[in-house]
């Protein structure tokens, strides 16, 4: 066969293949769309064309939703509508498809279709009304009718589920609506106290009751929690006691934007039945929330204060020192990274994994409470910070691989049962409390260091290598004696 004939045959095969694809694949999609359109009870209707829907809800309320930008309930109450539920409702009306049509049906009452319209969709001035009746004997389909049309239709029952909603299911459950990025200020007031904080760039600062750095994690976490508050119920007709409880809330949170504009406000009513609380949210509406969703919202000044003692990337560390003060004077342990990724220390050898764990804790060390904004020498001595039981200094990695600029310096004092570990950051007069479980991972004094942080070889007197093994989680151990 000549090359020319082969080329012609190949082109013919390609043309036939393309024709098959357009007829079978592309054509199948078009046929399926045409079949779906032909089965529509309201032909050539698109969900986005509906501007209003009136529904007889499952709890026997006549509800009207209107769309102007977004969906909103306008009757029997004014309330933000659930966009998901409203869109599903509009889609169910516009796209409802028949499974069968009875042109000469029995009396409508026999199908549960004798009442008024269950749902009415509006496309401009055009009304699209439906009566939803009983399930068919098989249960997989449901009878429906158009008022004034003698025919009876059956539709797949699952398609009518969006039309069987209660009033509460059509409401927007999000208690507060605000743009998190637009928040420039937060005011939180609780019984007996409160704070005000402002955001400057990406940094948060407290303005009241004290001025200073704020805990960004607490404030950003608060905004996230507020965004995800969802109602479990609604209070449309509050009694006088509820109104008073909202007017004098146990917790009030106000979010502000540029120019002190109020973006959102949450009021948590005082009292409650234990399992739920009434709150006032968007547009002044009252919602019922589970108490445990509100219990975790911060309501102490300390929670909003900056409590970070040190932060750095472990990979940037070029070395660290442990400095101890006791009866025999100062003892300094110097640790440096090895080429194998581990650590070596001298003059005493850290046990395997201990150096890595110490750095891991220091890399994001945050206090759980504040003991005092400052203390005198006697008070500092009383909590083990004058002199400090332990001082930890962390250095960055220089370009030549040696030690660079300081990354952190933290002093540790006594461990007090029920309070924590007293600590200070270099250059900061504030005395903090660290979490008690850190006694397992940070050496509080020379005795504890030698008892629980040294390698067995060092304890036996063999310090010939000065090597600490590659990082591993050694953890555990008994708490130090006080």
Sorted by where each begins, the domain ranges of the chain are 47-170, 180-300, 308-468
**pLDDT at 458 (0 to 100):** 47
180-300 is classed in which CATH architecture?
A: Sandwich (2.60)
**pLDDT at 480 (0 to 100):** 38
Count of beta carbons in the 10 Å neighbourhood of residue 24: 9
Alpha-carbon span 325 to 445, nearest angstrom: 7
* Intervals of the chain under pLDDT 50: 32, 458-467, 469-482
* DSSP annotation of 471: P
Contacts of 113 (CB under 8 A, 6+ apart): 131, 133, 143, 144, 145, 152
What is the token pair recorded at 325? 């003060």
| Number of helices and strands in the chain (H, E) | 11, 29
**pLDDT at 339 (0 to 100):** 86
Alpha-carbon span 338 to 114, nearest angstrom: 86
**pLDDT at 466 (0 to 100):** 46
**pLDDT at 274 (0 to 100):** 73
Same fold? 47-170, 180-300: yes
Is residue 363 classed as helix, strand or coil in its secondary structure?
coil
pTM of the model: 0.78
**pLDDT at 400 (0 to 100):** 84
Element (H, E) at 119: strand 119-123
* DSSP annotation of 79: E
In the sheet that holds 390-397, the strands lie side by side as: 369-372, 431-434, 420-425, 403-416, 390-397, 317-326, 329-337, 343-346, 467-468
pLDDT tens-digit profile of 270-291? Answer: 876 678 899 999 999 999 999 9
Q: Which of 236, 223, 300 is nearest to 266 (CA)?
A: 223
Residue-wise DSSP of 203-250: EEEEEESS-EEB-HHHHHHHHHHHHT-B-SEEESS--HHHHHHHHS-S
47-170 is classed in which CATH architecture?
A: Sandwich (2.60)
**pLDDT at 341 (0 to 100):** 85
Alpha-carbon span 274 to 7, nearest angstrom: 83
**pLDDT at 478 (0 to 100):** 38
């Amino acid at each position: 066969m000549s090359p020319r004939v082969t080329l012609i045959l190949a082109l013919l095969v390609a043309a036939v293949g393309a024709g098959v694809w357009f007829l079978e694949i592309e054509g199948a999609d078009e046929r399926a769309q045409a079949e779906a359109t032909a089965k529509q009870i309201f032909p050539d209707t698109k969900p986005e064309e509906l501007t209003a829907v009136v529904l007889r809800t499952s709890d026997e309320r006549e509800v009207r939703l209107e769309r102007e930008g977004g969906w909103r309930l306008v009757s029997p109450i004014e309330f933000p509508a659930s966009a998901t539920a409203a869109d599903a409702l509009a889609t169910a009306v516009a796209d409802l498809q028949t499974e069968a049509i009875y042109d000469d049906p029995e009396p409508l009452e026999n199908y549960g279709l004798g009442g008024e319209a269950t749902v009415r969709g509006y496309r401009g001035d055009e009304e699209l009304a439906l009566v939803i009746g009983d399930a068919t004997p098989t249960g997989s389909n449901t009878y429906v009718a158009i008022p004034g049309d003698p025919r009876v239709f059956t539709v797949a029952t699952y398609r009518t589920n969006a039309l069987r909603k209660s009033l509460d299911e059509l409401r927007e459950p999000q208690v507060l609506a605000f743009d998190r990025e637009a928040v420039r200020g937060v005011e939180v007031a609780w019984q007996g106290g409160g704070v005000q904080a402002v955001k400057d760039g990406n940094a948060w600062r407290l303005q009241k009751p004290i001025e200073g750095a704020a805990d960004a994690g607490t404030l950003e976490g608060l905004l996230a929690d507020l965004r995800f508050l969802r109602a479990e119920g609604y209070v449309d007709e509050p009694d006088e006691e509820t109104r008073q409880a909202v007017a004098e809330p146990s917790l009030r949170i106000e979010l502000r934007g540029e120019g002190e504009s109020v973006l959102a406000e949450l009021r948590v009513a005082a009292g409650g039945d234990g399992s739920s609380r009434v709150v006032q949210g968007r547009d002044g509406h009252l919602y019922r929330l589970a108490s445990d969703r509100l219990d975790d919202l911060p309501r102490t000044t300390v929670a909003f204060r900056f409590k970070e003692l040190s932060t750095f990337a472990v990979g940037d560390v070029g070395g660290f020192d442990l400095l101890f003060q006791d009866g025999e004077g100062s003892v300094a342990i110097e640790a440096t990274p090895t080429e194998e990724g581990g650590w070596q220390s001298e003059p005493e050898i850290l046990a395997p994994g201990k150096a890595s764990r110490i750095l891991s804790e220091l890399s994001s060390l945050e206090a759980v409470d504040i003991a005092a904004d400052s203390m005198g020498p006697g008070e500092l001595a009383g909590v083990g910070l004058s002199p400090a039981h332990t001082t930890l200094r962390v250095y960055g990695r220089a370009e030549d691989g040696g030690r660079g600029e300081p990354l952190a310096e933290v002093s540790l004092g006594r461990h007090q049962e029920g309070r924590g570990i007293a600590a200070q950051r270099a250059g900061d007069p504030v005395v903090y409390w660290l979490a008690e479980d850190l006694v397992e991972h940070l050496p509080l004094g020379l005795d504890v260091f030698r008892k629980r942080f040294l390698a067995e070889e060092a304890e036996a007197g063999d310090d010939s290598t000065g090597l600490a093994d590659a990082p591993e989680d050694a953890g555990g151990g008994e708490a130090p004696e006080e």
